[in-house]
Amino acid sequence: DLIKLGSGGRLCSFSPCIEQVQRTCEALTEQGFKEIRTLEVLLRIHNVRAVTLQLPNFGPDSSSQAGPEAMEEAPPSATPDHASLKLKTTTPLREMPGHTGYLTFATKPRT
C-alpha cells in the first residue's frame, strides 16, 4: 500500500525486478503521483590504478621572444626531458556478477 500524502511530497521506491517497477508505477499513477521516473541501479566494480603519461613534445615555442639564433646557440643537452603527468584511472571489470535493481521517484502534488 502506498502512503497517502495529502499535502504533497516526493517518494522513492527500490524494486529488484522490472515487473515490480511496472506495478509500482501503475499504483503511483492511480494515487495521483506525477513526474514518475525510474533509474536502473547496477553495481559496477572498477579497478583503480596509477598511470604516468608522457606529455607530447611539439618542439620549440614559436611565440617566444628569442629569435632563431638563440635556439642555435643552446646545446642539445640543455633541452629539458619530456614532461609527464601522473594520474589515477579506472577500468570496469569485464564480467560483473551481481543483480540489477531499480529506483523509482515520483512527486505527489499538494492538494
Q: What integer is the mean pLDDT of 28-55?
A: 91
Confidence of residue 78 (pLDDT cuts 50, 70, 90): very low
pLDDT (average), residues 26-37: 94
Q: Is 101 exposed, middle or buried (0-12, 13-18, 19+ CB in 10 A)?
A: middle
Indicate the pLDDT class of residue 60, thresholds 50, 70 and 90.
confident
Residue 50 pLDDT:
94
Which residue spans within the chain are E strands per DSSP? 9-15, 34-42, 46-54, 84-92, 100-108
Q: List the grid coordinates of 55.
A: 606529455
pLDDT given at position 20:
96
Instruction: State how far the Cα of 91 lies from the Cα of 53, in Å rounded to an integer.
Output: 16
